[in-house]
Amino acid sequence: MNLEERAAFNRQFSRFLWSSILIALSGCLGNVVDAIIVGHLIGEDGVSAINLSKPVVQFMFTLSMLLSTGAGMLVGMELGRKDTERATYIYSLSMGACLIVGLVLTACGALFPDAFTHLLCNNEQLFQPTRDYLIIMLLGAPAYMMMWGLSTMVGVDGSPRLVSVAILIDNAVNLSLDIVFIKWLGWGIQGSSTATVVGHLVGIALMLWHFRYKDNHLHLRFKTAAARFSEAFSQILSQGAPLAIASICLTLLMFSSNSIVLSSLGRTGIFAFSVCMNLLQIYNLFLAGVCRTIQSLGAIEVGRQDNEAFRLVLIKSFRFITIAMALTCLYVWIDPQGLVKFFGASTPDMINVGSEAVRAFALSFIPFCYIYTLMVVYKLYSHHKMALFLSFALSLTVIPVLWVIARFAPNLIWYSYLIAYGIETVLIILFHRIGHLKFVLPEKS
């Protein structure tokens, strides 16, 4: 790769990376800003209620990831191979499935709101705000599913700038309506989730503009043979499975962690844990941006069999996420109390417990981000078993460690995640060597 090609590659990488980071703002700002505004306008229990609702929201994210992220990787590979017809069909299947699943979740939210809430929260004081927040998110599930799916496909199809603009406007609408719905209209915590859904609908409308251009590669096309449908849909699910399994395990981890912390440390503990989960959203902002860049730009280079360009994608991605995580961790360690107060903590007990928790979690999330990114890398190198192992281990290792520490050493409970990710790191190194794995691009089939 000569200097001119390297400069062009760097521009393309920056365009994909920052577009992906702005896409990640859709989830990050929506959750974090909701929590901050709710903390100041409603109180600490409102922040806790949002966190208690997150397993269901994460489950929706899991389904969208299964149906759109894997499909986006396949579309990128097919576009790299110049097979526009197959790329179009995979896109059509993915979007159709996202819409149908979203409508099913809407029906579940309308029919069974109390059942979902009882599953997540057994605290009488926190039950009603949890229910109020959750039901709107379920009713708006189609918007959530389509927002993630369209942002993935439009970006891969060559319009990451349009996606960036749509995401920025989505979040501007969300932030503005948070104030309007909660403070001015008095909708309480339901105003927070309503603002998020409305913001996504605006973002979807803007991204649909991409399909007015005649030179885009993707358009809806469902007519095909049944055998081809089965093959294509199986590939979508297979490609997205490791990331989706990791997300399912994360859903289980959120549910288990909420239950263990609430039982062990009560309202003070669950508020501190809620702040930590919002801190994770900041890490996820960089993590999602890097992973989407590897999945989109990296998948195109895999399709072209350009090993040098793919390695450059990985090197630049890991360098960026390392710097971003280090700066985030440094800020948290310098001013943990300021971060906790930012989410509405008002009593000394809440501030002190929260400060201790966020410092521990600021360190814990660093290995989490590396392991998650490595899972995407293993998948693109066709080390499917290793990617699948990481999908399960990423979250499920934490649950037994958290339970044991909560039972026998509760003063160390905030370091449970760090200990678990340390164990996972050792296992990754061990299994990589035992399997004699190498990072070499697979041959074209």
The span from the CA of 414 to the CA of 360, in Å, is 6
Q: What is the pLDDT of residues 202-213, one digit of tens each?
A: 999 998 888 776
Question: What type of residue sits at position 133?
Answer: Y
pTM score > 0.85 for this model?
no
Q: Please tell me whether residue 46 adopts helix, strand or coil conformation.
A: helix
Please write down the HEC assignment for all residues of 96-165. HHHHHHHHHHHHHHHHCHHHHHHHHCCCHHHHHHHHHHHHHHHHCHHHHHHHHHHHHHHHHCCCHHHHHH
| H/E run at residue 222 | none
If pLDDT is split at 50, 70 and 90, which confidence band does 23 have? low
Q: Does residue 443 fall inside a structural domain?
A: no
Confidence of residue 224 (pLDDT cuts 50, 70, 90): low
Tokens of 79: 């576009």
Tell me the per-residue pLDDT of 356-374, one tens digit each, with 9 for 90 and over.
Answer: 999 999 999 999 999 989 9
Cα–Cα distance, 351 to 148 (Å, whole number): 35
Sign of CA dihedral 355, 359, 364, 368: positive
Retrieve residue 344's tokens: 């509405």
Confidence of residue 25 (pLDDT cuts 50, 70, 90): low
User: Do the domain assignments include residue 199?
Assistant: yes
Q: Is the dihedral of CA 72, 78, 81, 85 positive or negative?
A: negative
In this prediction, residue 64 carries a pLDDT of 84
Confidence (pLDDT) at 225: 44
Does residue 177 contact residue 140 with C-beta atoms inside 8 Å? no
Joined together, the tokens standing for residue 256 give 């288990």
Residue 445 lies in a domain: no
Q: What percent of the chain has pLDDT over 90?
A: 33
Determine the residue type at 7: A
**392 touches 427 (CB < 8 A):** no
The parent domain of residue 237 ranges over 3-434
* Averaged confidence pLDDT in the chain: 84
- Phi and psi of 203, rounded to 5°? -60, -40
- The span from the CA of 67 to the CA of 232, in Å, is 12
316 within domain boundaries? yes
Kindly compute the dihedral angle of the four CA atoms of residues 233, 234, 240, 246, in this order, to the nearest 10 degrees. Answer: 130
Q: What is the DSSP letter of 2?
A: -
Q: Give the model confidence (pLDDT) of 304-331 as tens digits.
A: 777 778 888 888 889 999 999 999 999 9
The angle at the Cα of 132, spanning 413 to 344, to the nearest 5 degrees, equals 50
Q: What is the pLDDT of residues 82-101, one digit of tens each?
A: 878 888 888 888 888 999 99
Share of the chain above pLDDT 70, in %: 91
- Would 440 be classed as within a structural domain? no
Total structural domains in the chain?
1
Residue 442 falls inside a structural domain: no
Tokens at residue 233, please? 């849909």
Q: What whole-number distance in Å separates Cα of residue 415 and Cα of residue 433? A: 28
In a domain, 352, yes or no: yes
Contact of 438 with 387, CB cutoff 8 Å: no
